[in-house]
A and B are shown apart, each in its own frame.
Chain A
Amino acid sequence: MSATPATALPPAGAPAEAPVPRIRVRGLCKAFGAKKVLDGIDLDVLPGTSMVVIGGSGSGKSVLLKCILGLIEPDEGVIELDGRNILALSRTEREAARARIGMLFQNGALFDSLPVWENVTFGLLAQRKLTRHEARERAADFLAQVGLAASVGALSPAELSGGMQKRVALARAIAAQPDILFFDEPTTGLDPIMGAVIDGLIIDCVKRLGSTAVAITHDMASARRIGDTAAMIHRGRIIWSGPAAALFDSGNPEVDQFTHGRREGPIQMELRR
């Protein structure tokens, strides 16, 4: 069971020379106290591709995403964006690098104290790319891109359903037209139809922006819809990677057990031990 770097398949007609991965992770380790959450993660995501990372609860998926985002400082390893090691950058440079990344949080993480329009345009206002008056008008465009009416902009996040909150959070993530998009459990807590709607919006947004995307999910249907490639984390390591279409036929016992949701299998046996 060897850990292979998860690499997207080169697009048809691409030159033989391997492109520089947009995201390259090598030997990433992170422990909280005695608990080793990430134990030498290697990962490559090519520009313009979408990767889904699957794995059980507590396997380190969210920690991996937060390390790449710079929200958690890893203990060891290298994280490169377009060949630049972000861990070696100054705080200001790292903040600038982070501005290229849009993030959809698991529960939306909308700011309760702000109306929807200000949530959506928060990043643009923070970067002083828009005045407040312009932001209010532009918010309607961003909301339209995720299938919401302009009138939603005046509401507060508490007045929205779970699906609408996810869509607003998606609008916020894409508003600054980031090169890289991260999705943390984008369909968790949604019914299957709304989950499919969110997946469709994610695919549309990623294609329209030409972004590179990384999604972590437990939802296998969602993983197959969103991802070009997939990787599975187990016990802090990547134990399998390959095309997302091969998730249900990976030949890896852990992945098979996880994707088919079987009680019996190597992961279950480890839990009993």
Chain B
Amino acid sequence: MNPFLDPLAAIGRGVIGAARATGSLALFALEGVSHLLRPPLHWRMFVQALVEMAYFSLPVVALTAIFTGMVLALQSYTGFSRFNAESAIANVVVISITRELGPVLAALMVAGRIGAATAAELGTMRVTDQIDALSTLSTNPMKYLVAPRLLAGMVALPLLVVVADILGVLGGFVVSVMKLGFSADAYLRHTFDFMHASDVISGLVKAAVFGFIIALLGCYQGYRSRGGAQGVGAATTSAVVTASILILAFDYVLTELFFTR
């Protein structure tokens, strides 16, 4: 026991562990992407993953977007009314939804749903030898299980974000017109006047990156899980938590990239 060196050693171990985990994730991502770029792609697995991610996530993403748009309109009104700037509500709603809230909230919802499900599925396959069985049946598990999911994530999230953008703006519209007494024509005119293609496109690019992160973390944690049910549970939790944190971190990085240069 050394009161000075022990804490330092613990910090050092933590840093080395974090570096090792980052390197391992990066190598896993590289291998997954390399399988994505080299044919063949397992189209059936891709379609299955796409349906699971996009179609079955639609209700939760839609509800999240509608309520977020509604709350945003209400909160903006209470704030802007102090400065007689109520007319800016439509601008705030459309910019916030398309640039930030649509992609980020959709991604967080999908991370909870799909990240967990992917980690649990692959984790169970790992601990029951199904992944090893794939290898013995002339099938590369990375190509069969991981690559189609990575592509599905990058396609599904932008599709969901298009829906989230429309419904988020619609939520703001409904509250503004039906509760706050705005004119429907004026609200829509403001919305379309202030919405730029770059806002929507940057949101969709973010969504594709977030989709990749969600699929990657779900696959990575599941693929590497060990130790039966407990290991699968830990992998599931880790997939959701890590994906959520990375989504928020990458949101900042991408925002910096798109809007401050």
Contact = CB atoms under 8 A, between A and B. Distances in A.
A and B from one assembly?
yes
Interface of A: 66, 69-71, 95, 98-99, 101-103, 105-107, 109-113, 122-123, 126-127, 172, 176
B127 to A, nearest CB: 10
Interface in B123-154: 124-125, 128-130, 132-133, 135-140
Interface residues of B toward A: which range? 10 to 19
B132 A95 contact: no
A111 B140 CA distance: 15
B136 A95 contact: no
Interface of B: 121, 124-125, 128-130, 132-133, 135-140
A106 B138 contact: no
Contacts of B136: 69, 71, 98, 101-103, 123
A139 to B, nearest CB: 14
A107 B130 CA distance: 10
A107 B137 contact: no
B128 A95 contact: no
Contact of B132 (A66, A126, A127): A66
Contacts of B133: 103, 105, 109-111
A109 B138 contact: no
A247 to B, nearest CB: 27
B137 A70 contact: no
Contacts of B129: 105-107, 109
Contacts of A107: 128-129
B128 A127 contact: no
B132 A105 contact: yes
11 contacts: A98-B135, A98-B136, A98-B138, A102-B136, A105-B132, A110-B130, A110-B133, A111-B133, A122-B137, A176-B137, A176-B138
Nearest to B42: A126
A129 B201 CA distance: 44
A17 B104 CA distance: 71
Nearest to A184: B129
A146 B124 CA distance: 27
A126 B128 contact: no
- Interface-centre pick from B121, B124, B125, B129 (highest chain A CB count, 10 A): B129
Contacts of A98: 135-136, 138
Contacts of A112: 124-125, 130
A70 B135 contact: yes
